[in-house]
Amino acid sequence: MEASKTSVVRPGLRERKKQQTRETIARVALELFAQQGYENTTLAEIADAADVSKRTIFAYFESKEDILFCDEPMFYEQLNEKLEQRPPGTTTVDALRDFLSSGPAMDDNARLRKQIIHSDQSLRLSERGRSAQLEQLVADSIARDLDAEAGDIRPPLVAAAVTAAFNAARDRLEAESGEPVSHEQAMAILDEILEFLRGGLEGLRRNREA
């Protein structure tokens, strides 16, 4: 049997070193944020702990906030790919549920990041503001579900409702428990929201076909 010619291309040494530097900056920044508070931590302190210059930090991140939320770009890139490449007949609800449930388990850095955000009101507000990108991806995907034309108000309204419902449920749970919501808790909330979304989308689709 002929061996497969397809192989995974390993990044070059330069790219690996760049990735290692980026990961080091993010890791030590999280540790400092947790130890002395987000607002009390300076970029100079992060640079010193990571053994790099402030100029090097700006080669990878635009601000402290970008360091804290450094996993978001990859998350949205992968979600966008999942939604755009879903098989025929797979709805936004199905693709979103599959994507979020099959994600990697939360590691120490992710847990630490959640704790840091949860402990700071301004960071919680920033996190909520950043969910606008998620809302747009969901709206675009729902528009394809409904075969909606440009300017159709239904997709953005449904996506906004879903994002608001999830944020509200998460905030309530965190306020009651005093801790960031676990992956299992988040998925339980998400299932309820997606079930609501599923029923709403089916109703919109039936109205369009009527």
In a domain, 187, yes or no: yes
Q: Is there a single domain that holds both residue 132 and residue 42?
A: no
In a domain, 176, yes or no: yes
Question: For the chain, what is the domain count?
Answer: 2
Q: Which conformational region is residue 16 in: left (phi greater than 0), alpha (psi within -120 to 50 degrees), or beta?
A: alpha
Identify the pLDDT of residue 2.
41
Yes or no: say if 166 and 190 are a contact pair by the CB < 8 Å rule: yes
Q: Is there a single domain that holds both residue 62 and residue 94?
A: no
Identify the pLDDT of residue 4.
42
Q: Is there a single domain that holds both residue 123 and residue 195?
A: yes
Q: Is there a single domain that holds both residue 139 and residue 89?
A: yes
In a domain, 3, yes or no: no
Identify the pLDDT of residue 122.
92
CATH number assigned to the domain comprising residue 82: 1.10.357.10
Q: Is there a single domain that holds both residue 202 and residue 102?
A: yes
In a domain, 138, yes or no: yes
Domain boundary residue, one of 33, 51, 67:
67
Phi, psi of 96 (to 5 degrees): -65, -45
| pLDDT tens over the chain, length 210 residues | 344 444 556 778 888 899 999 999 999 999 999 999 999 999 999 999 999 999 999 999 999 999 999 989 898 999 999 999 999 888 888 888 888 888 766 678 888 898 899 888 899 889 888 888 889 999 999 999 888 888 899 899 888 887 887 777 767 666 666 666 666 777 777 787 777 777 777 777 666 665
Q: Is there a single domain that holds both residue 78 and residue 146?
A: yes
Identify the pLDDT of residue 81.
94
Where b means 16+ CB within 10 Å and e means fewer, 29-50 reads bbebbeeeebeebebeebbebb
Identify the pLDDT of residue 8.
52
Q: Is there a single domain that holds both residue 119 and residue 170?
A: yes
Q: Is there a single domain that holds both residue 86 and residue 42?
A: no
In a domain, 8, yes or no: no
pTM of this prediction? Answer: 0.75
At 41 the three-state DSSP class reads coil
DSSP 126-151: HHHHHTHHHHHHHHHHHHHHTTPPTT
